[in-house]
Amino acid sequence: MEIAVFSAKPYDRQFLDAANADHAHRLRYLDDPLNADTAGLATGHRGVCIFVNDKADASVLEVLAHGGTQLVALRCTGFNNVDLQAAADLGIKVVRVVDYSPNSVAEHAVALLMAINRKVHRAYNRTRDFNFTLDGLMGFDLSGKTVAVIGTGKIGRVFARIMVGFGCNVIGYDAFPTPEFEALGARYADVGEIGANADIVSLHCPLTPQTYHVIGVDMLARAKPGALLINTSRGGLVDTEAVIEALRSGQLGGLAIDVYEQEADVFFRDLSGTIVDDDVLQRLMTFPNVIVTGHQAFLTREAVSTICETTLRSITEFETGQPLTNEIRVG
């Protein structure tokens, strides 16, 4: 089956090629992201394979359908970048990777937390210049601190388990509580308690209309002064302007993010030789208590291998007329 693979990076090609040995699909790799300007590149391809920042809105899907595309395969879990109703109306099936490696994202969240708390990024820059002073590098013990986990699905539970192992008091919030979270020795709490008591807040929920800017002016005002915020989920969960004000006032003690609300124009690209035309990101990066990584939390050998194998298996199911195990349906 002919597949146009958009936003294809070297690691995508390597792992997709390896997984494709069992499927023999014809993969055409495209460096370009999928959007209104590039959708025509998929003409003649029965399927397209896209990533988190590719755009599959109604207008793009119409171009894809006109060019013969019948399947959109997301090599990621989130699907907020796809207009599912438009896809259904056009007869385009949509599949995703439901589960790859919750450990990859949860462990990266822990790495960000440790780095921002113990000022590892600042220490690294100093010692590269042979500056071994310790002023300004003091952190705090995680043991005994209260960690709030917003979203207690698979990734959130792995993160919670690690935090329990550090000796933290772990509390959580989720619209759909699960006993597995409480079995870890954690407990659920209301928003007020999270704001008042959490020393650390880590986001692990999907981006929906209900969770959009869940971290905004009101939540930040209720936050415990000096709290740390970690986000490895979706950029739209955080109102970046509000966070900048909270950092400026000292209400927020630090921020470590792997996702950013306007990342589609920035992430997965080398912009080191250009002036980035994003004033919000520019301001954010001036704070010494901020760490930004470029949406790499998923990037482990185990996770990428599973993502590619699952994606190609879904494509084979479609090609052979089997039920689509990982299909996303409207409603």
Neighbour order of strands in the sheet with 252-257: 187-188, 169-173, 146-150, 200-203, 227-231, 252-257, 290-292
The secondary structure of the chain, three-state, reads CEEEECCCCHHHHHHHHHHHCCCCCEEEECCCCCCCCCHHHHCCCCEEEECCCCCECHHHHHHHHHCCCCEEEECCCCCCCECHHHHHHHCCEEECCCCCCHHHHHHHHHHHHHHHHCCHHHHHHHHHCCCCCCCCCCCCCCCCCEEEEECCCHHHHHHHHHHHHCCCEEEEECCCCCHHHHHCCCEECCHHHHHHHCCEEEECCCCCCCCCCCECHHHHHHCCCCEEEEECCCHHHECHHHHHHHHHHCCEEEEEECCCCCHHHCCCCCCCCCCCCCHHHHHHCCCCCEEECCCCCCCCHHHHHHHHHHHHHHHHHHHCCCCCCCECCCC
Q: What average pLDDT does the segment 10-20 reach?
A: 97
Place of tokens 């630090």: 254
pLDDT at 331: 72
Residue 224 — pLDDT band, cuts 50, 70, 90?
Answer: very high
Environment class of residue 134 by beta-carbon count within 10 Å: exposed (0-12), middle (13-18) or buried (19+)? exposed
Q: Is there a catalytic annotation at residue 126?
A: no
**Would you say residue 78 has pLDDT above 90?**
no
| pLDDT 10s digits, 124-183 | 999 999 999 999 999 999 999 999 999 999 999 999 999 999 999 999 999 999 999 999
d(CA 98, CA 75): 9
263 is catalytic: yes
Q: Indicate the pLDDT class of residue 81, thresholds 50, 70 and 90.
A: very high
| Mean pLDDT rounded to a whole number for the chain | 96
> Which of 46, 108, 157, 234 is labelled catalytic?
234
Query: 163-180, pLDDT tens digit by residue?
Result: 999 999 999 999 999 999
Catalytic residue among 261, 263, 309, 317: 263
Q: What confidence tier does 234 reach under pLDDT thresholds 50, 70, 90?
A: very high
Taking only the tens place, the pLDDT of each residue in 26-74 is: 999 999 999 999 999 999 999 999 999 999 999 999 999 999 999 999 9
Cα(53)–Cα(104) distance, integer angstroms? 19
- In the chain, what are the domains? 2-100+300-319 (3.40.50.720), 102-292 (3.40.50.720)
Confidence at residue 158, expressed as pLDDT on a 0 to 100 scale: 98
Hey, what amino acid is at 209?
A: P
Predicted pLDDT of residue 168: 98
Q: Please determine, for residue 100, whether its predicted confidence score (pLDDT) is greater than 90.
A: no
Q: Which of 157, 295, 313, 317 is catalytic?
A: 295
State the pTM of this model: 0.91
With beta carbons less than 8 A apart as the criterion, state whether 303 and 101 touch: yes
